Amino acid sequence: MTEEDRFSADGLRAQAIAILQAWGMPPPHAQTAAALMVETDLLGVDSHGVSMLPQYAVLQRNGRLRLDASPVLLREGPATALIDAGASLGHVASAQAMRLAVEKARVLGVALVGVRNSHHFGAAGVYARIASDQGLIGLVTSSAQGILLVPTRATAPVLGTNPIAFAAPLPAGSRNTAFVLDMATTTAAANRVKVKALRDQPVPEGWVVDGQGAPVTEPQAARQQVFEQADGGLTPLGGSADGGSHKGYGLSLLAQVLGGTLNGGAFAPLHNRNHGPGDPANVGHSFLAIDPGFFGEPGAFAQALDGVIDLLHATPAVDPGHPVLVPGDPEATHHAERSRLGIPLPAALQRQLREVAGSAGVPYTLQPIDSAFEPPNPAP
């Protein structure tokens, strides 16, 4: 297992801001995007935080990103809106969209804001949390620029990892932390395969298959299968037809339709037939906010949800050392631990970030705060 160094959240934010600004992103936008990336790392979602910067660097060099762009409000109704992200990264437009959805839902109970002409936006859950942090329910769906998911019965990838995230508020003073479901519609997100390769850890069987449907578990081979090969790729959530992969396939298509097609976003296989490799990807996202106060007495929903979570936590566990959790519990644990001890980065990612900073013409400023962190071996 590869040793890793830990870095402060402030240090990572500063490094990410410097790189993004060097690429042409306006300072306020760079600060927003960097903050969301580092928050993602604090939550333990290593696949979607600063580890994305090397991939963003490739998109930036190829001209696919318009990082100097600002989101534009294309149209707006009482409970709806549509934002054009300007072919920039999706972080800024997505945060704006969910905040706008929250504002509208406070007036009308429910609101949906769509984003088109976007790129990767990081982890969907950070946007759902914007709603739950303000006492509302948040739902996020997104299409994707990568063609990575192999549909049930297929040999080649057609869809992206197309995430779905849902967050709901809890009452003030609750002993529970949060209810946040943040999931790829593949068995594992593509960037989790990337992280396995960075750490030289085997990829669990069922995540990646080759063109004949056979599992690929060697980390570098799995990364190549997902990101470089024309056939094979990621399995839909469920892993196999016997395991219910048709459900994951269906959820991925749902996220494509609601997050992408509805908003004028592209379906990557069709988009790529008519656009060059340097053209923007036109990823789409949808952000739904619901105010529970319109459906019950003030505070009743949060109190009821708190009781549901209490019961789930109290459910007898097979292993008492591993109690029953609810979505959001692992991220809360990571956030508390990483806020105190720092965010771990594998040596391979550190080298990549140093190269990205050098190519951008900015100093590499990351300094470890702990030089002997041995990462845990989490369950897949």
CA distances from 228 to 71, 90, 148, 246, 335 (A): 31, 24, 10, 25, 33
Q: How many helices (H) and strands (E) does the chain have?
A: 12, 12
What does the CA dihedral 53, 57, 58, 61 come to, rounded to 10 degrees?
A: 170
Residue 233 pairs in a beta bridge with 209
Q: Is 246 left (phi over 0), alpha (psi -120 to 50) or beta?
A: alpha
Q: Provide the 10 A C-beta neighbour count for residue 369.
A: 14
Please name the residue that has the structure tokens 């590499």.
364
pLDDT at 275: 86
pLDDT of 207 reads 97
pTM as predicted: 0.93
Q: Closest Cα partner for 133 from 289, 9, 342, 306?
A: 289
Q: Are 18 and 304 in contact (CB under 8 A)?
A: no
pLDDT of residue 370: 57
Cα distance between residue 143 and residue 350, in whole Å: 29
Q: Which residues lie closer than 8 Å to 311 by C-beta, 6 or more apart?
A: none
Residues in the chain: 380
| Rounded Cα–Cα distance for residues 203 and 196 (Å) | 6
Q: What is the pLDDT along the chain (380 residues), one digit of tens a residue?
A: 457 899 999 999 999 999 999 999 999 999 999 999 999 999 999 999 999 999 999 999 999 999 999 999 999 999 999 999 999 999 999 999 999 999 999 999 999 999 999 999 999 999 999 999 999 999 999 999 999 999 999 999 999 999 999 999 999 999 999 899 999 999 998 989 989 998 999 999 999 999 999 999 999 999 999 999 999 999 999 999 999 999 999 999 999 999 999 999 999 999 988 888 788 999 999 999 999 999 999 999 999 999 999 999 999 999 999 999 999 999 999 999 999 999 999 999 999 999 999 999 999 999 999 544 444 444 44
- Walk me through the domains of the chain, giving residue ranges and CATH numbers: 1-61+342-374 (1.10.1530.10), 71-187+241-338 (3.30.1370.60), 189-234 (3.30.60.50)
- What pLDDT, on a 0 to 100 scale, did the predictor assign at position 373? 45
Both tokens of 60, joined, read 């930036």
